[in-house]
Homo-oligomer: A and B are copies of this chain.
Amino acid sequence: MNVTGHTRRPASIRDVATAAGVSYQTVSRVINGHPSVRPSTRERVLAAIDELGFRRNATALALASGRSRAVTVLTANTTHYGYASILQGIEEAARAASYAVGIGVLESADDAAVAAEVQRAADAGGGLIVIAYDPAGVRALGAVPAGLPVVGVVETPASPPAGESPWVWADDREAAYQATRHLLALGHETVHYVAIPSSTRRTSARTSGWRQALKEAGAPEPRPVQGSWGPAGGHAAGLKLARDPSVTAILCGNDDLALGVLRALHEAGRPVPGEVSVAGFDDAPHSAFLTPSLTTVRLDFTGLGRAAFGLLHRALEESAPVAPHPVSVPELVVRESSGPPPAGH
């Protein structure tokens, strides 16, 4: 071990080589587990490595070999629970594979800004994971130059892509379908929907799952209310819906929106679940502790993150395991915020 106090330049393979009395190439072979090295030689090299505290320089490795064992995650807003959990899952899997994780935040959905961010990520080397649940993310996914390995974390696609695709997703559509059916089964005539900003112009997967459940039940399909991501958007949407006495069940695009809706209903004097039932989406950690506690659909975000990394890992290295990270199916969690409609409905 290096015991001298002052910082010195870290040992390189040539330092190790002279210390062990071999050439730098032999050291390289030992590091990389090349078979044809005499055991006694390997021994000496390993001893020298240990003594000098040698660590392979990641930068030099990346430059010389071309592979960089790094992933950059492009995402809007790391503050949001779902995004943060996906990131957590990616990091976890990356750590296990000893990959470095970089992050880039898409602050604006503006084309130029997105392109700049993608460029930065590309400069970092290695692979790319884009969280494409929102317009900025979708645009970023589209702006990735061909040839750069990339995996997108996307909404449930309308039709399952043929063959291998560089995407992972949780089954949002199924989740929305389940939540809507739950509310309908309680006896509600229909279910209103407060949407998260759609990632594309087209209808989001969550919206289409909701719609499908309504259609199957022969329930009327009210116009979805457009919310933002945060509770404030839910609050605004909730105030609007609270004014309509026919509204008895509301599905929200995520738990934060649901929180705002709950608050708005409270302010409007409409008891939950007595008069109105509310269901969220994501099962954020606080949702179980709200009053009333929130009925919601749990999504396996960290699993999604792990799967995204797994797919990218496979794209970057032939030798990586093929499908190591299953994503669990969405699970409806029934709590206090949903119940039968009031009598007379």
Contacts and interface: CB of A to CB of B under 8 A. Distances in A.
Nearest to A8: B147
A40 to B, nearest CB: 29
Contacts of A234: 289
A78 B88 contact: yes
Contacts of A266: 291
A60 interface: yes
A245 to B, nearest CB: 21
Nearest to A231: B289
Stoichiometry, as copies per complex, reads 2
Nearest to A99: B120
Contacts of A109: none
Nearest to A7: B147
Q: How large is the interface on A (under 10, 10 to 19, 20 to 34, 35 or more residues)?
A: 35 or more
Nearest to A288: B231
A258 B146 CA distance: 48
Interface string A178-208: 0000000000000000000000000000000
Contacts of A60: 63
Interface in A208-266: 230-232, 234-235, 256, 259-260, 262-263, 266
A262 to B, nearest CB: 7
A78 B87 contact: yes
A340 interface: no
A104 interface: yes
A105 B88 contact: yes
Interface in A63-120: 63, 68, 77-79, 81, 84-85, 87-88, 91-92, 95, 98, 100-105, 107, 117, 119-120
A288 to B, nearest CB: 7
Contacts of A230: 285
A130 to B, nearest CB: 16
A7 B145 CA distance: 9
A22 interface: no
A101 B102 contact: yes
Contacts of A147: 7
A157 interface: no
Given A98-B120, A291-B266, A125 B91 contact: no
A164 interface: no
A47 interface: no
Nearest to A102: B102
A314 interface: no
Given A103-B103, A290-B263, A55 B123 contact: yes
B58 A123 contact: yes
A32 interface: no
Contact of A124 (B77, B100, B103, B105): B100
Nearest to A302: B79
22 contacts: A55-B119, A57-B123, A58-B123, A59-B59, A59-B63, A79-B81, A87-B103, A92-B107, A98-B120, A100-B102, A100-B123, A102-B103, A230-B285, A231-B288, A231-B289, A234-B289, A256-B285, A256-B286, A260-B289, A262-B289, A263-B293, A291-B291
